[in-house]
Structure 1
Amino acid sequence: MLKELIELGKSMIIAIIAAFLIITFVFETVSVDGHSMDPTLSHKDRLIVEKVSYYFRAPKAGDIVVIKYPANPKEKFIKRVVAVGGDKVRIEGDKLYINNVPKDEPYILEANMRDFNEVTVPENTVFVLGDNRNNSRDSRFSDVGFVSYKMVVGRAALRIYPFSRFGKLTSFNDINDLSVFANNS
């Protein structure tokens, strides 16, 4: 009996350690809190965030990422990377420009946005925006600003709830991705 309890205890410890390692280094689930990513993500959506890819590559424009809120790292935000280190970003006349090229963004909720003066994204940081630009605390605000790679938790990869919207979350890194989005709307 004692031997069985010791084995059970060992198994539980191994399971706890394995769960900790998976949550820390591989993936975790998060819940969307708020409307800053409407219409792409809705309030109360449950997502799986994968962390492995960013050990091997930097976040790319178009990725939907979970970040630690720089003003309070215990809080997490979900945003879209729109620019990476070296890129110039500005919003003018309701249009986002990256390196002076206007971006086609069929995933945003509303086209009208406040103008934002041009900035250059520092190396090893990203510039993030919510898809609901008029209701998003993002890199346009000084308390978020440029987000260091160290503050990026991972990439939102899969929506697991609600079940009616279950599926892979698409990032929009090139024109081919945009045509996929248009076919799915």
Structure 2
Amino acid sequence: MNGLKEEKRNDKQYRLIREIIETIILTILMFVVINLAIQNYDVDGPSMEPSLHNQERIVVDKVSYHFRSPSRGDVIVFVAPPDPALDYVKRIIALPGDTLTIKGTTVIVDNAVLKETYVADGYQGNPYQPIINQRVPANDYFVMGDDRKNSSDSRDWGFVPRQNIIGRATLVYWPLGLSNSGFLPDVSSVFADVHTKATKANISAAPVPLKGSTFDTDGMVLFAMPGFFLVCSRCRKQS
């Protein structure tokens, strides 16, 4: 009888130790996955007004572009070509293979004049020279800030290489209560008339991807993995 009690006690201790170890492993796994998948950034400067305000904190999705290609309208964080010590945040306007024309405040991508809803009237402007029928090279992206009067962007220093892109800005989370708090809006309709025919340049740039304004399904699957493991482990214990 005493031997049976001792065996039950040892079994309970073993299950407790196993549960503690599994919890620690899952916690570490979740920490690693989250840090690989997302990163926090501070917006520095007014170049993305009114979409992003100076000193706001944003969440950057670093996963999606490993599954799908960057899209026109995405707000991205990238290593700045003029100064690799800095990270910039801008909006993708043209993709590899696109032909771009900018005359004053008019932006034309593949013969489609953009009606840019994210550029407010008070922020329109163009201090740079016109760009006429410029083709975006393979693996490069043309970006601009939403504050067209005060943004140093591809109009000034050229294209963003694909390898410079860190991820896509998806969420404004601090400070709370501002008009732009929450997920960045989907602006894909602005580019609906732009030709989407595949080109050699687009194909060569395709291996690293995305589209949309919230976390992609692929990214959500990655975030959900630790929880899935946790549920499975709990189910195994109950069986």
Q: How does 1:79-118 map to 2 (within 5 A)?
A: 79-109=90-120, 110-114=123-127, 115-118=129-132
Q: How does 1:1-185 map to 2 (within 5 A)?
A: 15=28, 19=31, 22-23=34-35, 25-109=36-120, 110-114=123-127, 115-118=129-132, 119-142=134-157, 145-165=158-178, 166-175=181-190
Task: State the secondary structure of the residue aligned to 2:149.
Answer: helix
**Structure number with bigger Rg:** 2
Gaps of 5+ in 1: 1-6, 178-185
Over 3 Å counting, the alpha-carbon distance change for 1:97 and 1:123 in structure 2 is same
With 60-69 and 159-168 compared, the bigger mean Cα shift is at: 159-168
Over 3 Å counting, the alpha-carbon distance change for 1:120 and 1:175 in structure 2 is closer
Query: What is the CA-CA distance between 1:20 and the residue it aligns to?
Result: 5.5
Query: What is the CA-CA distance between 1:42 and the residue it aligns to?
Result: 0.3
Gaps of 5+ in 2: 1-19, 193-239
Query: What is the CA-CA distance between 1:40 and the residue it aligns to?
Result: 0.6
Number of the residue aligned with 1:4: none
- Structure 1 residues 117-173: Cα deviation after superposition (integer angstroms, max 9, x where no partner): 22111111110000001111111122xx11111101000001101111331012411
Q: Does the aligned pair in 2 maintain the 1:91–1:113 contact within 8 Å?
A: no
TM-score, length of structure 2 as denominator length: 0.62
Q: Does the aligned pair in 1 maintain the 2:75–2:169 contact within 8 Å?
A: yes
* Identity within the alignment, %: 34
Q: Does the aligned pair in 2 maintain the 1:156–1:169 contact within 8 Å?
A: yes
- Structure 1 residues 32-58: Cα deviation after superposition (integer angstroms, max 9, x where no partner): 000000011000111000011100111
Query: What is the CA-CA distance between 1:100 and the residue it aligns to?
Result: 2.1
Equivalents in 2 of 1:162, 1:57: separation in Å?
30
Give the root-mean-square deviation of aligned CA atoms: 2.4
| Amino acid across the alignment from 1:70 | P
Number of the residue aligned with 1:181: none
Task: State the secondary structure of the residue aligned to 1:141.
Answer: helix
Poorly superposed stretches of 4+, deviation over 3 Å = 17-22
Equivalents in 1 of 2:119, 2:150: separation in Å?
11
Q: Does the aligned pair in 2 maintain the 1:95–1:113 contact within 8 Å?
A: no
Task: State the secondary structure of the residue aligned to 2:163.
Answer: helix
Aligned length: 165
More strand by share: 1
Task: State the secondary structure of the residue aligned to 1:48.
Answer: strand
